[in-house]
Amino acid sequence: MQKDEETMAMADILVDAARQQASDIYLIGGLPLTYKVYGRQVRVNPDVRLMPDHLKTMIGDLYALARRPNKLEQGCFEDDFSFGNAVARYRINTFYQRGSRSAVIRIVAFGIPDPVQYHIPASIMELADLAKGFVLLTGATGSGKSTTLACLIDAINAKYQKTIITMEDPIEFIHRHNRSIVIQREINTDTDSYLSALRSSFRESPDVLLVGEMRDSETIATAMTAAETGKLIFSSLHTVSAADTIDRVLDGFVADQQAQARMQLSRVLKCVVCQQLVPTVDGKLYPAFEIMDVNPAIRNLIREGKTYQINAIIQENRANGMCTMNDSLETLFRQGVITKETALNHSEDVGALAKRLG
């Protein structure tokens, strides 16, 4: 492809996608430039497919715009980084597929999201008022976890005089100092790993820690220990239900550590919020949530390894603010926000939800 055949320069693509309210940009060999807008793929200039030489130039331009060394030129097979322009911030993953360079770019609007605009319930925002403990936000990639976490950190920043340290890979939302001091550290730029940043944080007088993702049992164990010492810890996992989240946390520990890990988790865990974004009847996206507050019954189930009973406890405590994912999907259907088909497609227990919807 010759230069004069290119539809837009890389800088123009970033601005155009943000203005079209795209959530992602795909630069993939053999595929036209593609945006994801409200969960749907939009081909930009569908007759022009991106070829390897063109992608090499475009991805090189991304590194130049970010003022970073091109790690794909240095022998790396993938890389993560972020930067901003006058319109938005961009979280970029570069990688190889079928031998050619590719990239997926997440677009993050400037400013901290408004929890009301993003339909985050008050019961979730109240987690910002916790003094200590361990809170997990879970869901698939692109389910809105980072947005919810950013809203919680912003709420703490606005209401309390605390020291907040975030560890992110990469940094998405920029928090300005308000009533709190906010220290943001990016993995591979400001620190080597989540674990090293977390260990270092103990010497930085934090009140609140945001660990972008729990990737291994050592990081999880260190975070739980921090919660035991009176810190408030927020983090995320790629799990789809509260029960799955408990199992995932504990499965990372070897057999002779399981009992201690169960006891420790039962003491420090305050809440698990699972979320996903579901398409609405008007073609947009709306969050659905499962909320599990850790009450004495849940603590006992964690200690005894009976996570299969957690869903029943959540259902018994609907009046206290808990809800299953099926509860949330049913509510959205009854309100006319989503269709029955959408509700069923996003349920982990389709048979039970189908009976409820009739």
> What is the chain's pLDDT, residue by residue, as a tens digit (358 residues)?
333 334 479 999 999 999 999 999 999 999 999 999 988 999 999 999 999 999 999 999 999 999 999 999 999 999 999 898 988 989 999 999 999 999 999 998 788 889 999 999 999 999 999 999 999 999 998 899 999 999 999 999 999 999 999 999 888 888 999 999 999 998 888 999 999 999 999 999 999 999 999 989 999 999 999 999 999 999 999 999 999 999 999 998 999 999 999 999 999 999 999 999 999 999 899 999 999 999 999 999 999 999 999 999 999 999 999 999 999 999 999 999 999 999 999 999 999 999 999 8
User: Do 205 and 86 share a domain, yes or no?
Assistant: no
Answer yes or no: is 330 within a domain: no
Q: Which of 109, 142, 175 is the last residue of a domain?
A: 109
User: Do 281 and 133 share a domain, yes or no?
Assistant: yes
Q: How far is CA 115 from the centre of its chain?
A: 15
Total domains in the fold of the chain: 2
CB 136 within 8 Å of CB 237? yes
Answer yes or no: is 318 within a domain: yes
Cβ atoms < 10 Å from Cβ of 318: 12
Answer yes or no: is 251 within a domain: yes
Answer yes or no: is 25 within a domain: yes
User: Do 136 and 225 share a domain, yes or no?
Assistant: yes
pLDDT of residue 5: 39
User: Do 230 and 315 share a domain, yes or no?
Assistant: yes
The CA angle 39-331-288, to the nearest 5 degrees, is 35
CB 137 within 8 Å of CB 125? no
Answer yes or no: is 356 within a domain: no
| Kind of pairing between the strands at 163-168 and 24-27 | unpaired
Phi-psi sector, 137: left (phi>0), alpha (psi -120 to 50), beta:
beta
Whole-angstrom Cα distance, residue 260 to residue 217?
Answer: 13
3 state DSSP class of 51: coil
User: Do 276 and 313 share a domain, yes or no?
Assistant: yes
> What does the longest C-alpha to C-alpha distance in the chain come to?
66
User: Do 231 and 307 share a domain, yes or no?
Assistant: yes
User: Do 254 and 315 share a domain, yes or no?
Assistant: yes
The closest of 40, 41, 56, 42 to 6, measured between CA atoms, is: 56
* CATH at 225: 3.40.50.300
Q: Which residues pair with 92 in a beta bridge?
A: 81, 105
User: Do 206 and 65 share a domain, yes or no?
Assistant: no
Whole-angstrom Cα distance, residue 159 to residue 175?
Answer: 14
pLDDT of residue 1: 35
Answer yes or no: is 337 within a domain: no
Q: Which of 109, 133, 156 is the last residue of a domain?
A: 109
Cβ atoms < 10 Å from Cβ of 190: 13
Which element (helix H / strand E) includes 74?
A: none
pLDDT of residue 105: 97
Range of the domain at 27: 3-109
Beta strands in the chain (DSSP E): 24-27, 34-37, 40-43, 78-84, 88-97, 100-109, 133-138, 163-168, 181-186, 208-211, 232-237, 269-279, 285-293
Which element (helix H / strand E) includes 148?
A: helix 145-159
CB 148 within 8 Å of CB 132? no
pLDDT of residue 282: 94
Q: How far is CA 165 from the centre of its chain?
A: 17
User: Do 135 and 275 share a domain, yes or no?
Assistant: yes
pLDDT of residue 358: 85
Answer yes or no: is 230 within a domain: yes
pLDDT of residue 231: 97
Answer yes or no: is 31 within a domain: yes
User: Do 181 and 292 share a domain, yes or no?
Assistant: yes
User: Do 127 and 268 share a domain, yes or no?
Assistant: yes
pLDDT of residue 202: 92
